[in-house]
Chains A and B, each alone.
Chain A
């Protein structure tokens, strides 16, 4: 692309975004959709157009996995690399596709047509193995589909001409309760809250004791009240639809089929705190839902449920903007999300101050999860007490579980809080279960002797993921997959997580290659401790959870990978000689190093 084209593209994208530098990430996504990748010229052009330093644009472009600063193919295939996809055969399928297309994994094909690689969990675990092709999710990949995809790519068939069946995404709702059960009419909950008046609405929220469904379980009413009481007029409500936690896909289903409830929840929050601006931060993997969501927003605007004087209430002005993410799990962390919303790298902020007082552009901001917001409609409709009547004392209401892995009926299950793991396993048709990973990669690994435990903040808290592993699975591999995920997703801001997650990843790979030693386990435990205690945000501090749990509960799975009780070299000695061996054309015995036992003394 010439410089002229670059400036033109950049100018158009900037205009579409109001020339607003806080929309830098949106501009880059927009430009890339047209140009395929972000060349050096494009980055310069965007910087000039927005009047920001070029290096800042480069910094942002380099942060997000789905922004490319190197040329990419016309077809970019990314296999979801969650453990559940892997268990369904994703690695072999990816190899098969690579073979058919004559490409090496992670490299652009020689003709520049296609690249094939992996990406973090795409949130299609109940219909995997899944992949993204040019950002669009393609589900239920099998060898037949691999052949089909290879053929479509070889024929250079444009994506819109691919059979739509390939892109079908199902809700798979298997158990409905308060939220997923009854139909709600758009505006119904909002009307109920307006009738109550703002004070009573907040009082109902308090009575409900609703706690955040995004993971941390903070009491929503307290958050709202703090934001409401914070100084500053331009308050903001943000819906966290980043859903990056591996194994979680319930927000996707809410956004697909219950978008009205989600937007209504945002509006209810705005009414409570006095916000005028709302953002929904949609993970890049769910880009395919954007048109649908925009459509729902437009409909709500024309129905008087968004915009000025909502439902005729003077002074109740609120509207919602959708921002896209671009492949960064850390942007689910609320302060990183705010940075990203401001068009920056998704680096978590120092807290305090918290978003409720200093959030988006320093304004008081409420950040809530998709499910949390949707749940508030039930409180508006039926009152706080009715909401609190289900669940447990400290965990009121219901919880959506995203169930995947070794079971007959993966999908979405809505249960009142307090349901036992056993009960869930029975409902979803799981047998011979060895372990359940609750809460995703950052959650808890439960062994069979713990299946009497209950889903609740006071026992087994969860953001919704529920991944099942039967006795045929290697729990070491499960932990290794999660460690790799965190190393890939670490934002790199703080020392322990930037370096520690990569060190852990290396250790786990070392063990996987069959050259582990006891000392490696000790090192792993030491790094785990550093991560937990000194990380800057929840990503780093929860990164070791799965390894710690697996080491305690499934230690034999690790010990199987130990070759030596004492020490094994950090790297593969023979592989390290390969370069010189080839160059010198040698294959005599002296050109190899055996993995002899290292004796201690």
Chain B
């Protein structure tokens, strides 16, 4: 008999080494997440995946499941906290969805819909983050970065290129590219790199394909992210 834990009162089986999030997804229970990606080890930065285990908040993407755990996830309390984390992500950057090519295909936005975020609530930082349009095929709009480091990890661990890394600290943290000029054009970045196709939000964009899909046909138009994610295994 496989071992199990309780997820919002439902038994969920798990295998050794599986995290709470992995096991929950496998059993058809969605846990919100942004920095976690099925093909990479957990990162643990966005904190959207927080759940409560024995009264304590933990990151479900990183914590290995244990026999008999009682996990609370889809509760008003935790969803309220998740919504507030989303609001923080919205106010720290510049997210103007109507003019963003990622709109409709964006995980941050889709999650905000799912958690019924109606307002960014907090006061906006309105940071000044110039766009890098130097590359022939790709555009970087740093205004929308949520620092999930998926591009960093993909470029380093899969593409073998190290095009990206984070620099700065705290609220001044930002994405940097691997060139003394600081320009993407001066790196060996290519449009078919995994890193060029992994950004969950609208930072790393392909030129000349913007707004290609009509409204209504985009990834999260028809179905909410909690359905899409489980269907697509992401």
Chain A residues at the B interface, C-beta cutoff of 8 Å: 40-41, 43-44, 53-56, 58-59, 61-65, 328, 345, 350, 352, 487-496, 498-503, 506, 523, 526, 529-530, 533-536, 570-571
Whether the Cβ atoms of A350 and B171 lie closer than 8 Å is: no
Whether the Cβ atoms of A536 and B166 lie closer than 8 Å is: no
Whether the Cβ atoms of A491 and B169 lie closer than 8 Å is: yes
Answer whether residue B180 sits at the interface, using C-beta atoms and an 8 A cutoff: yes
CB distance from B126 to the nearest CB of A (A): 10
Answer whether residue B53 sits at the interface, using C-beta atoms and an 8 A cutoff: no
- Which of B44, B57, B89, B168 is the one whose CB lies under 8 Å from A499? B89
Give residues of chain B (13-66) contacting chain A, Cβ–Cβ below 8 Å. 42, 44-48, 50, 57, 59, 62, 64
Answer whether residue B191 sits at the interface, using C-beta atoms and an 8 A cutoff: no
- Which of B45, B171, B180 is the one whose CB lies under 8 Å from A54? B180
Q: Which residue of A lies closest to B91 (CB)?
A: A499
Answer whether residue B103 sits at the interface, using C-beta atoms and an 8 A cutoff: no
Which residues of A are found within 8 Å of B177, using beta-carbon distances? 55
Do A59 and B166 form a contact, CB below 8 Å, given A492-B173, A503-B88, A534-B85? Answer: yes
CB distance from B143 to the nearest CB of A (A): 15
Whether the Cβ atoms of B165 and A53 lie closer than 8 Å is: yes
Q: Which residue of A lies closest to B164 (CB)?
A: A55
Which residues of A are found within 8 Å of B46, using beta-carbon distances? 494-495
CB distance from B132 to the nearest CB of A (A): 13
Q: What is the CA–CA distance of A345 and B165 in the complex, to the nearest angstrom?
A: 11
Answer whether residue B112 sits at the interface, using C-beta atoms and an 8 A cutoff: no
Answer whether residue B84 sits at the interface, using C-beta atoms and an 8 A cutoff: yes
CB distance from B111 to the nearest CB of A (A): 12
Q: What is the CA–CA distance of A493 and B173 in the complex, to the nearest angstrom?
A: 8
Answer whether residue B114 sits at the interface, using C-beta atoms and an 8 A cutoff: no
Q: What is the CA–CA distance of A350 and B46 in the complex, to the nearest angstrom?
A: 13
Q: What is the CA–CA distance of A55 and B62 in the complex, to the nearest angstrom?
A: 27
- Which of A55, A499, A529 is the one whose CB lies under 8 Å from B178? A55
Which residues of A are found within 8 Å of B170, using beta-carbon distances? 487-492, 498, 501-502
Which residues of A are found within 8 Å of B171, using beta-carbon distances? 487, 490, 492, 498-499, 501-502
Whether the Cβ atoms of A492 and B147 lie closer than 8 Å is: yes
Which residues of B are found within 8 Å of A498, using beta-carbon distances? 92, 147, 170-171, 173
Q: What is the CA–CA distance of A499 and B89 in the complex, to the nearest angstrom?
A: 8
Do A62 and B176 form a contact, CB below 8 Å, given A487-B171, A501-B170, A530-B84? Answer: yes
Whether the Cβ atoms of A506 and B167 lie closer than 8 Å is: no
The 19 sampled A-B contact pairs (Cβ below 8 Å) are A41-B180, A55-B177, A55-B179, A62-B168, A62-B176, A350-B59, A487-B171, A488-B170, A489-B170, A490-B171, A492-B171, A494-B45, A494-B46, A499-B88, A499-B92, A499-B122, A502-B170, A529-B81, A530-B84
Q: Which residue of B lies closest to A533 (CB)?
A: B57
Indicate the size class of the contact surface on chain B: 35 or more
- Known interface pairs A62-B176, A506-B123; 15 further A-B residue pairs with C-beta atoms within 8 A, sorted by A's residue number: A55-B177, A62-B168, A487-B171, A490-B171, A492-B147, A492-B173, A493-B147, A495-B45, A495-B89, A498-B147, A500-B88, A503-B123, A523-B122, A536-B44, A571-B123
Which residues of B are found within 8 Å of A529, using beta-carbon distances? 81
Do A536 and B88 form a contact, CB below 8 Å, given A491-B169, A498-B171? Answer: no
CB distance from B58 to the nearest CB of A (A): 10
Whether the Cβ atoms of A63 and B123 lie closer than 8 Å is: no
Give residues of chain B (162-202) contacting chain A, Cβ–Cβ below 8 Å. 162-173, 176-180
Which residues of B are found within 8 Å of A487, using beta-carbon distances? 170-171
Which residues of B are found within 8 Å of A491, using beta-carbon distances? 169-170
Q: What is the CA–CA distance of A550 and B162 in the complex, to the nearest angstrom?
A: 46
Which residues of A are found within 8 Å of B113, using beta-carbon distances? none
- Which of A55, A350, A502 is the one whose CB lies under 8 Å from B176? A55
Answer whether residue B125 sits at the interface, using C-beta atoms and an 8 A cutoff: yes
Q: Which residue of B lies closest to A530 (CB)?
A: B84
Which residues of A are found within 8 Å of B50, using beta-carbon distances? 533-534
Whether the Cβ atoms of B180 and A536 lie closer than 8 Å is: no
Whether the Cβ atoms of A44 and B168 lie closer than 8 Å is: no
Whether the Cβ atoms of B163 and A55 lie closer than 8 Å is: yes
Whether the Cβ atoms of A62 and B167 lie closer than 8 Å is: yes
CB distance from A361 to the nearest CB of B (A): 17
Whether the Cβ atoms of B172 and A492 lie closer than 8 Å is: yes
Q: CB-defined interface of B135-167 with A at 8 Å, one 1/0 digit per residue? A: 000000000001100000000100000111111
Which residues of A are found within 8 Å of B164, using beta-carbon distances? 55
Which residues of A are found within 8 Å of B47, using beta-carbon distances? 494-496, 534-536
